[in-house]
Chain A
Amino acid sequence: MRAFVTRLSGFLLALLFLEAAFVCAAPPEDGAARKLSTLELAEWIDRQFDKAWQEANVQPPAVVDDATFLKRTSLDLNGTIPTVSQAREFLGYDGEHKRATLIEQLLNETKRPQKHAERTAAHWATLWRRMMVPGNTPEAQRAVLFEPWLKEQFLTNVPYDEMARKIITVQQNTPGVTAKGPAMENVVSTPVIFFQTVGGKPETSASAVSRVFLGVRIGCAECHDHPFADWKQKDFWGVATYFSGIRNGAVGDSPLMKIRPENGPKEFEPALLWGTKAEVPKGKTSREAFADWMTSPKNPHFASTAVNRVWNVLIGRGLTDSVDDLDKAPPAERAILDELAQLFVASGYDVKWLITGICKSKLYQRECIAVDETSGDPLPGLRPLKTLLPEQVFNSLEQALALPVARADAGPRFNGLRDQLVARMNEAASNQPDEYRAGVPQALLLMNGRITTEATDLEQSRTLRGVLDAPFLNTEEKLKTLYLATLTRHPKAPEQQFLLEHIRKQPTPEKQQQAFQEIFWGLLNSPEFVLER
């Protein structure tokens, strides 16, 4: 406990210092907005939504308790549930700024054993990779190799516009990040993988880049004018001309010139979206020129798309729902999104700042709303339950079951079990954070698969063995510990009553142990394990 308090206050100091430094470091220049502190950003967010709810005459949901907050932020930032000891520490500590401090810790603490900053960067790399190349597509397996590069960007908090520029302008021989770790030893990770896995052609590049970075679905216009939006074939192929140097998976450059679709009857001129004139300044490649245009603060979609994606991840739905297609956003939603985007631009496209500010808002900390068939569309800003991604499911199992993580122990990360689980879960994973799409094979895997089987086996399970063999824990405390390990909370009274009875009515100590096995199995297979509140 004491260690946590010291760490907390150390963090708090650093945090206050950082906040002050940020504010001073961003002097307002001719009309440009200054960089808000993360607390100011949190307050700004809450003001917007308090107002919206008041106008709609809606009582917002309560702020969640500490246990829910800990599980939520751990999953959202670290990509996993916390350990039992983390949970005990956090729930037992009573400091005033404990939540803000936890957020800073999860984002910034580099120390062992948790290495939170690294976990968070890895998780956000996964999120970004999945957004760029969805996990259930045939190319996803290869796209995973892009993650080490992305992780490096998040870890060093590279400004978002710079990261985007690096991706757009990558060359075949641009040095990458050498991957370490299971399954990708010494693989060189670079954005080239992005262009290759989306198709490695001018048209697939145009389609992916405009969707990912600009929230524009012009892919439809490859073959015909967009049926619902204003995009024409000339827009799509106009953008594609900028990527003419990307051919057959090789990422190169070529001068900006007309393009003729394969088997197409006519050629298309170079063009940019929203009426910007297509030209390439002397000394620049066409992709450099495209990156200039795309990442410019004047681009109406670039910052808004980024902000909406981060919001979508953290809250469970975008500020406007269609993260891949901002053209569908209603004007009111678009207005608040654009305002937040302006603040993001003023922050210097600081991704960590944006994440921190959102997490510190009361809005982020509110309870999920109960959506059902009759309640219709929820109000903006309110969060639905989120479904864990395949990687989060594995990470959480690893944490809850205390699975071996060192290479020497050849645990699931190294012996193929992790990849099997993630692959099977990916077969039925959604790209929408709030959607649960798993099918029977996924349920059977969690019910009867090897990881669960070993975890509930008295001989092999580290967690179960540890809890059952602890002489200082009575039955109630044992149950509590299993709850902390799996659901990051204590059992509620009815749960405790039902489950304790199940244990106590067993005639022999062996049968009681078996009852614990059954309970542990039930907890791992409960909706609360895979649905984030």
Chain B
Amino acid sequence: MSTFSRRDFVQLSLASAFGVSFSGWLPRLAAAANEAKGKHKACIVLWMAGGPTQTDTLDLKVGHPNGGPSKAIDTAVPGIQITEHLPGVAKRMTDLSIIRSLTTAEGDHDRATRLMLTGHRPGQEGVNYPSLGALFAKELGDPENELPHYVSVSPFRFGGDASGPGFLGPDYAPLVVSGDSNDPEARANLSIENLKAPAGVSKDSMERRFEIAKFLQNDFASSSKGPSVKAHQANYERAMRMIATNAKGAFKLDEEPAALRDKYGRSRFGQGCLLARRLIERGVSFVEVTLDGWDTHADNFAQVKRNCDILDPGWATLMDDLKERGLLDSTMIVWMGEFGRTPKLNMTGGRDHFPLAWSVALGGGGIKGGQVIGDTGKAGTEVVNRPVKITDFYATMCAGLGISPAKENISPEGRPIPLVDRGGTVIAELATAPEKAAKGI
């Protein structure tokens, strides 16, 4: 059964009241799309496709043969050091924490991506697990918002796509924002596919098309009834509203001061981070921004530096920008990829897949910053202290967002599936309100 809110009904009947007149409901729709509704909990995932090396980013092994050439620098938090190539991130360490002891069991891109994005090992009992974007969007999303709850900016994956809604269904599917290139001209166009009317079709013509479509909808609905008719009508209503409001203007990045855009970095990732902030401001609950290029089997150090040069300004500016707008304490930021990379270099100066002991970072809303969890010893080859499982990591993210990890969704087979697999424990040092989360608020 498709879900259909009361609001949709109201809007449908309003729309039918306009009936067949060409009286321009387009501007009315645009006017109805009001701006920000105050603070809501949200999450931004910075997805490092390919598997980022921990040894050259957040868990350096200075003085050990496994360590790379990059120097460790002090961060804003005494005692925590990270790579010199992330100076901006280092300065914001009070609002960020690093987990250095994540230990997972999937070393293949496809399977590991699915593990990290769903919290479950893939292929278990044929369950099509929802991605965390869908899970969190379902818990946090405001059904009244004109924009989708879950937006994915220029996603890139190895293997099958695990960012979908799984069994939760299309209500929680990501709205995918394209951005196929790093072309300086194209990057301003981080936009929704097919949001714009085709070239040569005027606004008036578009409006007449909508009127005709609505006439046909009403005509169809007068003789055929059922949930699918309503779902179709509501969906077109939403899509037309997105076109009419130009998605609440979220994608008009050129409204931002040029200096701020420069600070984010004029890259797809940097501008994607800026877009993430604009989406969160407009009520979106979950945004994923992808930075590709971390599968560094060869020439690791040079490639990691290039990646960091893109990552650092985007990530750091995003944190500042959210903080200035008072949104950082309600917006959780997560940095992760599908696995880490081997501490020991291979023959081609690269690092290979390594899920045994690796790093992720999280901060902002609901997370106590300035901490390091776990330790991978001098060589980085194993967790020597405080191993963190994927379920612990998921439980901690849930806690940060005020969601109970034990909450269950019901699969189409009628099976209750908890948000986080059994056995996950919130990392108490990181959660600002661990007791609340553990109790299941």
Q: Is the CB of B198 within 8 A of A228?
A: no
Q: Is the CB of B225 within 8 A of A526?
A: no
Q: Which residues of A contact B39 (CB under 8 A)?
A: none
Q: Is the CB of B242 within 8 A of A440?
A: yes
Q: Which residues of A contact B212 (CB under 8 A)?
A: 499, 502, 518-519, 521-522
How long is the Cα–Cα vector from A443 to B169 in the complex, in angstroms? 16
Q: Which residues of A contact B114 (CB under 8 A)?
A: 138
Which of chain A's residues 409-446 have a Cβ closer than 8 Å to chain B?
A: 427-428, 430-431, 434-445
Nearest-neighbour CB distance to chain B for A261, whole angstroms, equals 11
- Is there a chain A Cβ closer than 8 Å to B162's Cβ? yes
What sequence of 0s and 1s flags, for each residue 440-459 of chain A, a beta carbon within 8 Å of any chain B beta carbon?
A: 11111101110001000100
Which of chain A's residues 494-533 have a Cβ closer than 8 Å to chain B?
A: 494-495, 498-499, 502, 514-515, 517-519, 521-523, 525-528, 530-531, 533
- Is there a chain B Cβ closer than 8 Å to A104's Cβ? no
Nearest-neighbour CB distance to chain B for A390, whole angstroms, equals 12
Q: Which residues of B contact A436 (CB under 8 A)?
A: 2, 227-229, 231-232, 235
How long is the Cα–Cα vector from A531 to B2 in the complex, in angstroms? 15
Q: Is the CB of B217 within 8 A of A199?
A: no
Q: Which residue of A lies closest to B171 (CB)?
A: A439
Q: Which residues of A contact B415 (CB under 8 A)?
A: 220, 227
Which of B148, B198, B205, B215 is the one whose CB lies under 8 Å from A439? B148
Which of B125, B208, B213, B229 is the one whose CB lies under 8 Å from A222? B125
How long is the Cα–Cα vector from A228 to B228 in the complex, in angstroms? 29
- Is there a chain A Cβ closer than 8 Å to B65's Cβ? no
Q: Is the CB of B239 within 8 A of A447?
A: yes
How long is the Cα–Cα vector from A436 to B239 in the complex, in angstroms? 15
Nearest-neighbour CB distance to chain A for B95, whole angstroms, equals 33
Q: Is the CB of B235 within 8 A of A438?
A: yes
Q: Is the CB of A199 within 8 A of B126?
A: yes
Q: Is the CB of A199 within 8 A of B225?
A: no
- Is there a chain A Cβ closer than 8 Å to B186's Cβ? no
- Is there a chain A Cβ closer than 8 Å to B301's Cβ? no
Q: Which residues of B contact A134 (CB under 8 A)?
A: 128
Nearest-neighbour CB distance to chain A for B196, whole angstroms, equals 7
- Is there a chain A Cβ closer than 8 Å to B396's Cβ? no
Known: A441-B173, A526-B220. A387 touches B228 (CB 8 A): yes
Q: Is the CB of B170 within 8 A of A217?
A: no
Q: Is the CB of A449 within 8 A of B194?
A: yes
- Is there a chain A Cβ closer than 8 Å to B20's Cβ? yes
How long is the Cα–Cα vector from A498 to B171 in the complex, in angstroms? 34
- Is there a chain A Cβ closer than 8 Å to B75's Cβ? no
Known: A436-B232, A439-B171, A443-B239. A138 touches B216 (CB 8 A): no
Nearest-neighbour CB distance to chain A for B111, whole angstroms, equals 10
How long is the Cα–Cα vector from A517 to B200 in the complex, in angstroms? 12
Known: A198-B126, A427-B170, A522-B216. A527 touches B414 (CB 8 A): no
Q: Which residues of B contact A204 (CB under 8 A)?
A: 123, 126
Among B128, B148, B219, B238, residue most surrounded by chain A Cβ atoms (within 10 Å):
B219
- Is there a chain A Cβ closer than 8 Å to B209's Cβ? yes
Q: Which residues of A contact B159 (CB under 8 A)?
A: 138
Q: Is the CB of B175 within 8 A of A440?
A: yes
Q: Which residues of A contact B231 (CB under 8 A)?
A: 436-437
Known: A217-B413, A439-B148. A527 touches B209 (CB 8 A): no
Which of A444, A521, A527 is the one whose CB lies under 8 Å from B217? A527
Which of chain B's residues 158-174 have a Cβ closer than 8 Å to chain A?
A: 159-162, 164, 169-171, 173
How long is the Cα–Cα vector from A527 to B1 in the complex, in angstroms? 17
- Is there a chain B Cβ closer than 8 Å to A26's Cβ? no
- Is there a chain B Cβ closer than 8 Å to A137's Cβ? yes
Q: Which residues of B contact A442 (CB under 8 A)?
A: 170, 235
- Is there a chain A Cβ closer than 8 Å to B226's Cβ? yes
Which of B169, B173, B242 is the one whose CB lies under 8 Å from A444? B242
- Is there a chain A Cβ closer than 8 Å to B348's Cβ? no
Q: Which residue of B lies closest to A424 (CB)?
A: B193
Q: Which residues of A contact B1 (CB under 8 A)?
A: 435
Which of A368, A372, A445 is the one whose CB lies under 8 Å from B193? A445
Q: Is the CB of B232 within 8 A of A530?
A: yes
- Is there a chain B Cβ closer than 8 Å to A270's Cβ? no
Nearest-neighbour CB distance to chain B for A197, whole angstroms, equals 11
Q: Which residue of B lies closest to A514 (CB)?
A: B205
Which of A370, A428, A499, A525 is the one whose CB lies under 8 Å from B236? A525
Q: Is the CB of A385 within 8 A of B126?
A: no
Q: Is the CB of B414 within 8 A of A526?
A: no
Known: A136-B164, A448-B194. A518 touches B128 (CB 8 A): no
Which of chain A's residues 340-381 have a Cβ closer than 8 Å to chain B?
A: 368, 370-372
Nearest-neighbour CB distance to chain B for A529, whole angstroms, equals 9
Nearest-neighbour CB distance to chain A for B279, whole angstroms, equals 14
- Is there a chain A Cβ closer than 8 Å to B250's Cβ? no
How long is the Cα–Cα vector from A528 to B220 in the complex, in angstroms? 7
Q: Which residue of A lies closest to B222 (CB)?
A: A494
Q: Which residues of B contact A527 (CB under 8 A)?
A: 216-217, 220-221, 224, 229, 232-233
Q: Is the CB of A518 within 8 A of B209?
A: yes
Q: Is the CB of B205 within 8 A of A437?
A: no
- Is there a chain A Cβ closer than 8 Å to B115's Cβ? no
How long is the Cα–Cα vector from A514 to B202 in the complex, in angstroms? 11
Q: Which residues of B contact A370 (CB under 8 A)?
A: 224-226
Q: Which residues of A contact B215 (CB under 8 A)?
A: 495, 498, 522
Q: Is the CB of A428 within 8 A of B170?
A: yes
How long is the Cα–Cα vector from A440 to B241 in the complex, in angstroms? 10
How long is the Cα–Cα vector from A138 to B111 in the complex, in angstroms? 11
How long is the Cα–Cα vector from A521 to B233 in the complex, in angstroms? 16
Which of chain B's residues 218-263 have a Cβ closer than 8 Å to chain A?
A: 219-221, 224-229, 231-233, 235-236, 238-239, 242-243
Known: A371-B225, A518-B205, A522-B215. A435 touches B238 (CB 8 A): no
Nearest-neighbour CB distance to chain A for B440, whole angstroms, equals 21
- Is there a chain A Cβ closer than 8 Å to B428's Cβ? no
Q: Which residue of A lies closest to B241 (CB)?
A: A440
Complex A-B: 6 CB contacts under 8 Å:
A430-B169, A439-B170, A502-B208, A518-B208, A527-B229, A531-B228
Given contacts A436-B232, A442-B235, A527-B233, 7 further A-B contacts (CB under 8 A): A437-B2, A439-B173, A441-B194, A447-B239, A453-B198, A495-B219, A522-B212
